[in-house]
């Protein structure tokens, strides 16, 4: 869990610093993110689950942490998130099973027992 907390702290620090600096590209990215993950033909929950699978394929630990937790907030179940991780594993082959290990750690945080 220390690694996950470190990722969250680094993201929050970088986000605050970028907001302070006010770069146009970061502002545009935040607007694009809000648009991409808002309810549309697909609800936010489904979009977050798609992002979970992609995160596993590209082995982006920060992305996995963010999108798994956002999926949980959007009322995805642990079973739904696990299936999204599994789709990423299938699409990414053997290397994605390594990424999935981190996703499982984040799931333990997002869905405490």
Q: Answer positive or negative: Cα dihedral of 53, 59, 60, 62.
A: positive
1 half-sphere exposure, CB direction, 13 A CA radius:
5
CB 29 within 8 A of CB 52: no
pLDDT digits (tens, 9 = 90+) for 34-44: 999 999 999 99
Whole-structure pTM value: 0.90
Cα angle vertex 65, ends 19, 34, to 5°? 45
Non-local CB neighbours of 4 within 8 Å, separated by 6+ positions: 65, 105, 106, 109
Owning domain of residue 42: 2-110
* Domain tally, the chain: 1
Q: pLDDT, tens digit, for every residue of 32-88?
A: 999 999 999 999 999 999 999 999 999 999 999 999 999 999 999 999 999 999 999
In this structure, what CATH number is given to the domain that contains residue 34? 1.20.1290.10
């Amino acid at each position: 869990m220390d690694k996950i907390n470190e990722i969250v702290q680094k993201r929050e620090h970088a986000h605050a610093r970028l907001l302070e600096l006010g770069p146009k590209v970061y502002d545009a990215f935040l607007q694009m993110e809000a648009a991409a993950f808002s309810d549309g033909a697909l609800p936010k929950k489904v979009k977050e689950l798609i992002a979970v699978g992609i995160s596993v394929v590209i082995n982006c630990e920060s992305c996995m942490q963010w999108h798994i937790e956002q999926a949980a907030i959007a009322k995805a179940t642990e079973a739904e998130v696990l299936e999204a991780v599994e789709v990423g594993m299938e699409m990414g082959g053997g290397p994605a099973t390594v990424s999935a290990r981190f996703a499982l750690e984040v799931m333990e945080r997002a869905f405490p027992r």
